[in-house]
């Protein structure tokens, strides 16, 4: 039986390229979580791929909605979770701090809690954008694991 991957933020730049990479390099079933208002433009390159329709499945859910996320987890029972979705815009983090908290912190906790309650052990990869690092001096590039965070938000 092939593995199953769940990608939150599959419609984003990183998520769409990860889905493409997994299609090319694995035989995994790929499930992606996206919001209703997420444009699907970044996924257009996957549609014509052979077997893409048989291997890529989209689930519309909000990370802040436990029931919706739990339904996706129970339906897919992923072996790998690539948690790429987040509210990463600095301006929005100031104008809507509660939404940012609910999406980034609570959303992550909801995924982990659903996996725990469904007794599904999965390898989890949590990713952050360059917004976490903020402005990095040229002498510190390329960024490494020991780079100091200087977030703009």
Question: How many domains are contained in the chain?
Answer: 1
Domain assignment present for residue 14? The answer is: yes
* pLDDT confidence of residue 47: 66
- What is the radius of gyration, based on Cα positions, of the chain? 16
43-92 residue pLDDT tens: 777 766 645 567 889 999 999 999 999 999 999 999 999 999 988 887 88
CATH of residue 13's domain is: 3.40.50.720
Q: Which of 2, 4, 1 is nearest to 120 (CA)?
A: 4
Which residues lie below 8 Å from residue 53, measured CB to CB, with a gap of 6+? 47
Domain assignment present for residue 8? The answer is: yes
- Give ∠ CA 55-66-113 in degrees, rounded to 5: 85
Domain assignment present for residue 150? The answer is: no
pTM of structure: 0.83
- Give ∠ CA 111-116-119 in degrees, rounded to 5: 125
Domain assignment present for residue 153? The answer is: no
Domain assignment present for residue 147? The answer is: no
Domain assignment present for residue 9? The answer is: yes
Its domain, for residue 60, covers 4-140
8-44 residue pLDDT tens: 999 888 899 999 999 999 999 999 998 877 777 777 7
Say whether 111 sits in a helix, a strand or coil.
helix
């Amino acid at each position: 039986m092939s593995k199953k991957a769940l990608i939150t933020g599959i419609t984003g730049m990183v998520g769409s390229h990860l889905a493409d990479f997994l299609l090319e390099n694995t035989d995994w079933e790929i499930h992606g979580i996206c919001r209703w208002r997420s444009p699907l433009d970044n996924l257009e390159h996957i549609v014509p791929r052979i077997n893409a329709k048989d291997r890529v499945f989209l689930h519309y859910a909000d990370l802040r909605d436990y029931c919706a996320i739990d339904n996706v987890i129970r339906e897919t029972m992923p072996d790998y979770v690539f948690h790429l979705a987040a509210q990463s815009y600095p301006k929005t983090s100031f104008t809507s701090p509660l939404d940012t908290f609910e999406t980034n912190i609570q959303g992550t906790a909801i995924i982990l809690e659903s996996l725990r309650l469904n007794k599904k052990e999965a390898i989890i990869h949590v990713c952050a954008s360059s917004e976490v690092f903020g402005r990095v001096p040229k002498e510190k590039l390329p960024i490494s694991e020991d780079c100091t965070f200087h977030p703009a938000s």
